[in-house]
Structure formats: C-alpha cells, structure tokens
Structure 1
C-alpha cells in the first residue's frame, strides 16, 4: 500500500534527512538511521549538547553536534522551528571555524536536505568532501543530493567512493537504493541483506529491516514483508518506519484493523506527512471519514507551517493536495518542486497533479520521466495508466494498470480498487 511511492521517497525521509546519523568522524559513521529514538531520549541528548556549548561556547564541534541533533529531532517531529534552531547552531560553528569545518559542513548538508534544498545540500556535501576526502559519510550526503536532483550516475559514483572507503551498512544501503531505483529489485534485496548483516547500530538494523520489508512488498510477497517488519520491531518496537512497514504488510494480507493500529502508532512516534497520509487514506478506504479528515487536518496544518518557512513542497504534500485539496494548487506546488528537484517521485507527483487538474498531455510527459529508470512502482504505473485512460488510449491504460496490480495488488487503499474498476470499465467498453 503506497509502497514504492513511500520507498522511493525514502530519499527524503530516510536517506537525505536521516542519512546523517552521528558525527562524520565517528568510527562507525552510522549515517542511515531509520527513525529517531524516543523523544525523551532525544530530548535528553539535546539538553546535554546545550549544556556542552554553554561550557565550551567557542568550540565549533560542539555547536555543530548540537545543530546535527536538532536536524534529527526536526525530521521526526516535523517541527520547522527545530530546523531554524539547527541552522543557528551550525552558523555559530561556521563563524568560529569558517573553513575546513567538517562537522558543520556535513551537518549543513543534512539540514539543507531535510529542508529539500538539495542544490544547497550538494554544495555543502562537496565542501565536506573537500575538507576530508577520506571520510566516507560526506559521500553519503553527496549521493543523496545527487539522487534527489535526478543526477543518478553522479549519485552512483559517490556511493561507489563511499563503499571503497568503507563497505559498511550505510554504503551498502545506498547501493541497494540505487539498484531499486533502476528496477533491479533482486540486487537491491541482496545488497540490503548485506547492509543488515553489516549493521552496527540499532538504527541501521531497523533501517535495513524497513527496506527489506518494502522490497518484499514491491515483489508481491506480503508474508516476507510482514516477517521483516516484525523482526525489526522485536528489537525496536517504537520505530516509526518499521511500524509503517508492518502496517502496509498487514493491509496487504487483509488485516486492516491491525494496519490502522500500526499506522496510528507510527504517527504517534513520528507525525511525518507520509504516515499521516497513509493512515488518512486507509481510514477513508474503510469508510471512516471523520477519522480520515482528522489526519488530513494535521497534514494541512503542517503544510501551512511549511509554506511559512519557505520549504519546498514534498511528494506527499503534492499528492495530498491533488487528491484531497485543490488540484490546481497541487500543480503549482509540483511545478515548483520539479524545477528544483528532478527526482522520479517528484515527476510522478507532478504528473498526478496535472492529471487531476485536467492537463493530461503534460501529465503523460512527466509520468514517462517518473518511469524512465524502470523503477518498480505500482503507484507510478497506476498514475500513468489513469492518464492514458483520460487521453483515450485504453490499450496503454490497461497495460499500465495491469502491471501495477501484478507488481503489488494492494499498492494503495484507494487507488488499487480504482485500478481494478478502471480495467473493468475498459473491458466493458465496446
């Protein structure tokens, strides 16, 4: 359910935002945490860092570590104010050490990625690489920025360099993601299994389990998806990414009540847009309109804060506006996003917004770009199938809709049934 759209958009949620783990000089550099630790533990860590900068107000590393911690907090709370606080701390670090400040350069790359300012993230990642070319972690941020900008070959080069320096869980996970984007699910799974075996931290293990669950679901193997999510949650029971993965697996096996419970727990742990939208759409599919609207209301409030902060729209915000708001506004958001970020999921969101606004010829061009790499996304295929149908090409529409359902029969609680209904109507047309 919403599988590849979520998995592919992990570039934002788990790679570019969460891909920055701890200090870049850490011995293990755990740069791909799945989701944050508990808010209590995270808060204690930030308070300890605040105390440290009070004791060491002229230490650039202490300020950079505080900024990095604030970025990690913001990505799990959707708190725009935390991003501003992170930037203040990082600017203080850079004022104290304007050049060759690896910690601050690395963290600024993470902050810009979290704000979806990927060109700026690329600039900071390059600075960090120049400062310390033999440190693996900055190549991860570099790869993530290239990926989100649609520069896939450059991203793969950065991943290879990262792996050459240290073939650990972080570099293997990124290599898996690159293979997934190009449609090689088998290789992506093999690499993510290696990432799991190489994982040195609970966050890395949770991340690998989350991805393995998603990869299994994309291959139509809901039972394996459920096993992977449960194995992860046995160790990290409040991990939001794993809770969402298990929710999707439960939905795929028909256990929608448990799917709602897991999505609700994910939202409680980390009220991020993809969890809110996933729960809202699931509730709507069950006929629980009031409960669905409650999730959508939180999304709208978050979108208002995002706009006030000047942060570019993300994929989930665009899709939400297209399906549950004003499609013309969704197009405006999407066109702005795609100008800055030529990532496959952004092209798909733009295509869907255009379709919903009645601009199907333009939508088809964007949809083709979304699928140009061969990315295994049932949602992308459904979107293009609906666009083909609107343009009167029922042969192409049927092909895409059937491929979407074959790839993942329960890819979305609302759109999977719509795909089946569309095929039925095509078949009934003389």
Structure 2
C-alpha cells in the first residue's frame, strides 16, 4: 500500500514545476533556481513566492533535506505577508507543507482556508483530501477527491482517486486509475510518481516481475529517483535477487536517507544473515529518532515499528499513542497494534489491528500482525485465516516477516 511500511504515508500532493533532467536532484535544483530568479526580479509578487515555497516542499519530500522545509515555510510566509487574504496558492502550499511534516490538523486548517479562498482550486481540494485521509476522516476525504476530480481530472486527481480505492481494498480499480494518472502525467516527476505506485501495487499483490518492469520504465524517465529505486529494491528482494536489491536500496539511501529505505535495507540485511550490516542501517535510524525527539517531532509508522522490534516495546507503545493522537490513520493503528503485541498487551492490540483493517484494505503486513496477535490470544483459527490471507496477498511481503508467517502457519496447521 502507499501508506504501509516503506512508504511516505501520503497521497500525492501538488507538484512543484519540474523540468526534464538526468536526475531528480538536478530537476529540483533547476526548477528552484528559476523560481528564485523570478522572486529576485519580482520581489513583491505573492504568486512567485508561493510557487517557490511549493517547489521547496517537493524538494524536501524527495530529498529528506530538513533545510528545504525551513526554506519552504519562509517563502510561503513571504507570499502571505504580501497577500494576507485570498491567497489560496500560499494557503495550499502551507497545507502541503504541514502534511509533509505529518502535522495533519494544521494541514486541514490551511486546506480549509485555501478552499474557502478559492472553492474551484483543484490543488486545494487535493491537500484537503490528504489531510482528511490521514486524520481518519475517510468519507470526507473521498468527497474531497471527487470534487478535485470533477474540477480537474489531471494526474494528481486520478492518483488520489486511485489511493482512495486502494484504502477500500479495490486494488483493480486502484490500478486502473493509477494507469490513467500515468497517462495524464505531464512531467517526468509525475510519470515517475505514477510508475512508483503502479510498481508498489504490483509488488504488494504478489507480482514482483511486473514491479521490476514498471520501476525500470520509471527510472528510464527519471534516473536515480529514490522512490523508484526502493520499489525496485523490494521487487528484487522478493525475487531473491539480493545483490541487486542491496544496490538499489544503497543508491536510494544515498539520494534520500528516508526511514523506510533504511529500515528496508536493514531488514533485508538481517534476513541475509548480515547482522552487522543491518545494525549500520538501524544505527542511522536511531540517530534520526534522537534528532526527532530533540526537535519535538512525533514518531511515524516506521519509527514505531522499529522501536517495537529493535528497541523497547513499551516505548513503542508510548510513541504509537502519541502518533495516533495526531494521525488516527490505518497504518498508525497497525503500528500501534504491533507495538502493543510486542509489549504483551494482545487484547488491546487486537482492537487496533481490527481498526487497521476496518476499510477492507488489502495489506499482507496488516494481516500478518493481526495473525500473530490472534495466535497469542489463543485464537488459532483466526490466526490461521489471517496468515493464509497475508501469504495469498503477497508471499514475499517482508524479508523477515514473510518467513515468520510461513513458519507460524506450519506450526498452527501441524497442531490441528
């Protein structure tokens, strides 16, 4: 899923202007430099500042550079100073910025302002949909996606529509809409985005060969894109092509050391019997978490799951509880369920696991987590059903957990 482990947890947002180039970094740099030249020439133009702010938001999301978020906020605030009211572009940008920082209540506030300033702005409706989705207000988010699609059925609207159906477990419709998003994409970045998620949908429904092909197509369009590299790494790992998987993860991390990439490579190295190499990645994750705490940030899904498996489960529960208060989203319920299970609190864990699957989402990790919770509670038939479901969805869903799922299923069936 777009929101499970290894993912950013967001539907696509308004894209900054992009130009064709040999790498994502160059594309961002070229586009940003042009926008910086514009605000130097027209320093009193609020639209120029809002465009620059959104470009920095996109750069930050792609490169994991915290300084880009600071620059984004400064540019968007400058636009709002120049035009305090009715500035829907800057208000939309602020919503996208807050959503990228996982401050979804603040993102919703800005999105409401933007849609009030301009009810006919499709990008503002998109940011509204993103915030509502992550706040667990799913029916409202579907309505916002529909409004966005009615206003402008472009690549971003179609991608969000795909995501809304993926949440509800309709992977066929999600795939069809993401293919339409790809066909409608007007920039290399938009095409790469759609192909990344088409590859992810293929991978997470048990088709790693198609995932590799789609990722290769995307990398031909935008070489070095870290999200495409991660998707291809996961597909190579599922196919047992471990050398290629390690290489792709390593290249993705060099471009953008996002937690899901680090955790993905660490878990792959662990599954290959390379504990020291796994610890290299886990240590970077621990350093990132210390920085998060120092800055007062809230842990995301990857941080909660990592703490549950490689740290202190009690701490993971506390992290998950804080995360749920800010983001009562399906993937956070799943992470909280796993943290509670690891802490030995399985009755509470089952409640959270059921919430994670409440919309009918097709997710092998979600079913695997609930299966082990059910087994711990003595609900062996429910555990057996969930394990079969997880392995039917994707028999290679995780380099460590998929073998654990097969072992648990064999153990349960042997005891029948």
- Please give the range of the TM-score, normalised by the shorter of the 2 chains: over 0.9
* Residue correspondence of structure 1 range 109-148 to structure 2 within 5 A: 109-148=95-134
Q: Which residue of 2 aligns with 1:299?
A: 285
Shift of 1:414: 0.6
Instruction: Give per-residue Cα distances to partners, 1:15-37, cap 9 Å, x unaligned.
Output: 2xx512127xxxxxx9xx9xx95
1:229-378 alignment, distance < 5 Å? 229-378=215-364
Alignment: residue pair count: 414
CA displacement 1:24-51 (0-9 Å, x = unmatched): xxxxxx9xx9xx9533442344344444
Which of 205, 216, 226 in structure 1 is aligned with 2:212?
Answer: 226
Deviations 1:117-173 (A, max 9, x none): 111111111111111222211111111111101111111111111111111111111
Flag structure 1 segments of 5+ consecutive residues without an equivalent. 24-29
- Any idea what SS the aligned residue of 2:358 has? coil
- Measure, in 1, the Cα distance between the counterparts of 2:215 and 2:36: 35
The match for 2:4 is: 5
| In structure 1, C-alpha distance between the alignment counterparts of 2:3 and 2:205, rounded to whole Å | 10
Per the alignment, in what secondary structure is the counterpart of residue 4 of structure 2? helix
**1:211 matches 2:197:** yes
Name 2:80's counterpart in structure 1: 94
Contact kept, 8 Å, 2:23 with 2:223, in 1: the verdict is no
1:46 touches 1:70 (CA, 8 Å); kept in 2? Answer: yes
Matches within 5 A, 1:98-109: 98-109=84-95
Q: CA, structure 1 residues 305+82, in 2 after alignment: closer, same or farther (shift >3 Å)?
A: farther
Contact 1:115 1:312 in 2 (8 A): no
Aligned pairs for 1:17-28 within 5 A:
19-22=13-16
Q: Is the 8 A contact 1:59 1:96 kept in 2?
A: yes
Counterpart CA distance in 2 for 1:423 and 1:209 is 34
Over 4 Å off, 4+ runs: none
* Aligned-partner Cα distance in 1 for 2:86–2:248: 44
Counterpart contact for 2:2–2:9, Cα < 8 Å: no
Tell me which residue corresponds to 2:155: 169
Whether the 8 Å contact between 2:16 and 2:58 is mirrored in structure 1 is no
- Secondary structure of the equivalent of 1:173? helix
Against the structure 1 CA distance between its residues 370 and 180, is the aligned structure 2 distance closer, same or farther, given a 3 Å change threshold? Answer: same
Corresponding position of 2:368: 382
1:408 to 384, 394, 402: 394
Match of 1:194 among 172, 176, 180: 180
What CA deviation, in whole Å up to 9, does each residue of 1:366-418 have, x standing for no partner?
00000000100000000000111111111111111111011100000110111
Moved more, 357-366 or 263-272: 263-272
Larger deviation: 93-102 or 39-48? 39-48
Distance 1:256 1:60 in 2: 49
For 2:3 and 2:112, the matched residues in 1 are separated by: 29
Q: Which runs of 5+ in 2 are unaligned?
A: none
Whole-Å separation in 2 of the counterparts to 1:199 and 1:330: 39
Q: Which has the higher contact order (CA 8 A, sep 6+)?
A: 1
Deviates more, 1:217-226 or 1:245-254: 217-226
For residues 71 and 172 of structure 1, what CA distance do their matches in structure 2 show? 21
How many angstroms apart in 2 are the aligned matches of 1:255 and 1:385?
28
CA distance in 2, matches of 1:6, 1:138: 27
Q: Cα offset for 1:237?
A: 2.0
